[in-house]
Structure 1
Amino acid sequence: MSTLSFVRRTLLIAVAAVVLAGCAGAPAPVAAPAVQGQALHVLVFRGGAAARLGHNHVLRAGDLRVEWAAAGPVLRFRLDALVVDPPELRAALGVDFASAVDADARAGTRANLLKALDAATHPEVAVRTLQQVGDGARRAVEAEITLHGQSRRQWFVVDVDGRRASGQVVVRQSDFGIQPFAVMGGLLAVQDALVVQFELVQP
């Protein structure tokens, strides 16, 4: 066996061990009553020198709760209710998410994610609308995002169609004091920047 083949085989075994180790004791997702057409997804991108051995991931907020305050919606969801890599979402996101992720890998990813986010100490994420600029179909919105016990203000664009609002925003984990997950000295990791996509329906 060549040195390169040996290193590659060793790396694959190590990655598998990390993922499978994370499966033990992972709490089950907490379901919440679904609102038709309402959702929040987080796109997580692979990184590191061995990124090709990993996967991009999509997370769904399984208990998304929305309050309609005077300034605009307030979103809340629990990290332990995140659903990792639902097959239907991966299929809808195209080739960059086309790789198959089995149940064991999803459980391992979820356990590692909750550990990296310190979900036991900071279980909830909140996004509170502070102000909206414009009153047409496309608006600039400033919101306060609370994650990992820290709050940051951020602007993003929202499209409004009647009682529906949709948009996306880039969130950097490091802005909230989170060290993005990595193994083996960063050979396999996730990128700092996450894309948060949402669609809300006002009752």
Structure 2
Amino acid sequence: MSPGRRGLLALALALLAGCANPPPAPPSAAEPAGGNALRVLVFRGGSAARLGHNHVLRAGDLRVDWPAAGPVLSFRLDALDIDPPALRAGLGPAFASAVDDEARAGTRANLLKALDAAAHPEVVARTLQQLGEGPRRAVEAEIALHGSVRRQWFVVEVEGRRARGEVVIRQSDFGIQPFTVLGGLLAVQDELVVQFEVRQP
């Protein structure tokens, strides 16, 4: 690799590391409070994607209400737990790379900037309707993120008082420009996988 190319990659990695004084990360919890949990899988992209990391984000302050239509989930972006080691370890080889405290701090700073968290600090997912019976249901939810509101269908598995589901959302659908540097040399993909598990009280 030429010196110029090495310098370009070093600059990109430095930019991904974030600012010098990022907001402090919230403490990790071994188990989600009340049996409720939500995590977001973020996938690396760009022509030099192999130099980056996939990320997992956990909603550190997830709140769940249960009106008649179904659960309403909400959390603050500045309370996201970035790349908790125990979660990464459980996600297999795609998340096996080590992410140190400095890298997590940089990811947090870049994430909050890309999501404009100061202006839009909260994410809310509100159940609109449920279709079907038995353990698998089709659920329509209204998702409020980044000042935009979108409706989306997904599948939920119900077992007793517990429900778990997974949905793919695109950042661009909510007016968010996925993070990228140096013309796409390093980036995150537009699509995010949101996984959740909630328990009815």
TM-score category, normalised to shorter length: over 0.9
1:138–1:159 contact (8 Å) kept in structure 2: yes
Instruction: State the Cα RMSD in Å.
Output: 1.7
1:60 pairs, out of 58, 61, 64, with 58
Query: Using the alignment, how far apart are the partners of 1:188 and 1:31 within structure 2?
Result: 27
**1:12 matched residue in structure 2:** 9
Change (3 A) 1:24 1:41: same
Task: In structure 1, give the amino acid aligned to 2:88.
Answer: R
**2:97 matched residue in structure 1:** 99
**2:194 matched residue in structure 1:** 196
Q: Secondary structure at the match of 1:70?
A: coil
**1:187 matched residue in structure 2:** 185
Query: Using the alignment, how far apart are the partners of 1:164 and 1:107 within structure 2?
Result: 33
Structure 1 stretch displaced more, 38-47 or 7-16: 7-16
Deviation at 1:165, TM superposition (A): 0.3
2:57–2:80 contact (8 Å) kept in structure 1: yes
The superposition leaves residues 134-168 of structure 1 with CA deviations (integer Å, 9 ceiling, x where unpaired) of: 12110000000000000000000000000100010
Query: Using the alignment, how far apart are the partners of 1:25 and 1:159 within structure 2?
Result: 38
Q: Secondary structure at the match of 2:53?
A: coil
The superposition leaves residues 61-118 of structure 1 with CA deviations (integer Å, 9 ceiling, x where unpaired) of: 0000000010000000000000110000001000000000000000000100000000
**2:49 matched residue in structure 1:** 51
**2:121 matched residue in structure 1:** 123
Unaligned runs of 5+ in 1: none
Query: Using the alignment, how far apart are the partners of 2:129 and 2:44 within structure 1?
Result: 33
Deviation at 1:30, TM superposition (A): 7.6
Query: Using the alignment, how far apart are the partners of 2:26 and 2:48 within structure 1?
Result: 29
Q: Secondary structure at the match of 1:55?
A: coil
Deviation at 1:35, TM superposition (A): 2.3
5 Å-filtered alignment, 1:26-45, equals: 26-29=23-26, 34-45=32-43
Change (3 A) 1:137 1:196: same
2:56–2:88 contact (8 Å) kept in structure 1: yes
Percent identity for Structure 1 against Structure 2:
72
Deviation at 1:196, TM superposition (A): 0.1
Question: How many pairs are equivalent?
Answer: 200
The superposition leaves residues 7-40 of structure 1 with CA deviations (integer Å, 9 ceiling, x where unpaired) of: 4421332133213442414244388994243210
**1:133 matched residue in structure 2:** 131
TM-score of the two chains, using structure 1 as the length reference = 0.93
